[in-house]
Amino acid sequence: MKIVIAPDSFKESLSSIEVADAVAQGIQQVLPDAELIKLPVADGGEGTIDAMVAGTQGSKFTCRVTGPMGTPVDACWGVLGDGVTAVIEVAEAVGLAKVPVQQRNPLKATSYGIGELIIEALNAGAKQFILGLGGSATNDGGAGMLQALGARLLNTAGDVISLGAEGLANLQQIDFNSLDSRLENVEFKVACDVDNQLLGPTGATYTYGPQKGADEPMLQQLENHLSHFAKVMQQALNRDIASTPGSGAAGGLGATLLGGFNAQLESGVDIVLDTIQLETYLSDADLVITGEGKIDSQTIYGKTPIGVAKRAKQYNCCVIALAGSMGAGYQAVYQQGIDAVFSVVPGVMNLTDALKTAAQNIEDTAFNIAKIVKSFKV
């Protein structure tokens, strides 16, 4: 029997690698002769670096960069097994989780650290980039990233503007002449599952600004600053960066990547699954086990379990999903290729205990699933 284990991480608890290990341990106790293929997965957000590096036998690195509020942070990035493709998660450098709730301020937050990560990868020989856009604390349209990459964002006096969305109010022109020349020969893929445009009621500011610390007056400021930034960028590039689907991702970082660097916008989970070549393991698989921390009605919108299930069903594989919790409307996943969903929580417990015991709970659940599989010879 061949079982493919392809879960996402269980947020705040276990990485996708740790989840896969726990599932495998549970199954091995019942089906010691089964062929188990562990393929940690992600959807472009948290865990993307780990999943893609592990799936391609690549390498992972850590460097010091400018955090969202200007103070140094440690950020991880990876190189795939091909040696030339760098994987970067926006949240690693400028993530919302890097900023305590009381200190969040998208007017001050900068994407400068993303540019520093790109430079670090360029110095290591990267020729291609996969950028996971998710969980950013910024709303500067990628201006900080541009500055880190060498572009000069100038005010009317010809001086460099300050970092953060607040500085965009003084932006007069963008000089790309000093942009790192190596960028001309690299390719960017953007792993993103939102199609928000840069501006408007469903744009970067009004959709994501409140969770980044913006109140109502600040939202209007941020929107004005991004609108102005888009106009100056259009003058510099002779291209509209604001209306492209996905341009509102990561505080407008998507706009600069898609409009300024001709990046390709793709589904995060599809980029990951293509990279780790999931299909090569599915053609003769008997069972696929996937999962993530919570499965609910939103899971069908670009989340890992659905991405895995859709590909598995092309090979008529049975698909079981594990979840830390099953939220409202989780049954929607049954129409998208998942055959059964199991919560790994064995009984009533608080969140702290559930997170602490996640590995054992996942192992126990996999053990019980293996008992069913052995009994019915799936």
What confidence score (pLDDT) does residue 353 get? Answer: 82
Q: Which CATH architecture has domain 48-268?
A: Alpha-Beta Complex (3.90)
Q: Are 153 and 161 in contact (CB under 8 A)?
A: yes
Complete DSSP assignment for 177-218? TTS-GGGGG-EEEEE------SSSTTSHHHHHTGGGT--HHH
8 Å CB contact between 93 and 71: no
- Within 10 angstroms of residue 225's Cβ, the number of other Cβ atoms is 26
pLDDT of residue 352: 84
Query: For residue 260, what pLDDT is reported?
Result: 87
Q: What is the pLDDT of residue 316?
A: 94
CB 148, CB 68: distance < 8 Å: no
161 DSSP assignment: P
Angle at alpha carbon of residue 210, lines to 221 and 96, rounded to 5°: 105
> Would you state the pLDDT for residue 328?
92
Residue 11 pLDDT: 80
> What's the burial of 336, exposed, middle or buried (CB within 10 Å: 0-12/13-18/19+)?
middle
Start and end residues for every CATH 3.90.1510.10 domain found in the chain? 48-268
pLDDT in the model for residue 29: 97
Topology at the third CATH level for domain 2-41+278-376: Rossmann fold (3.40.50)
| All CATH 3.40.50.10350 domain ranges in the chain, comma separated | 2-41+278-376
Under-70 pLDDT residues of the chain = 377-378
Distance between CA 352 and CA 2 in Å, rounded?
34
Distance CA 262, CA 159 (A): 28
DSSP conformation class of 169: G
pLDDT of 105: 96
Q: What is the pLDDT of residue 192?
A: 84
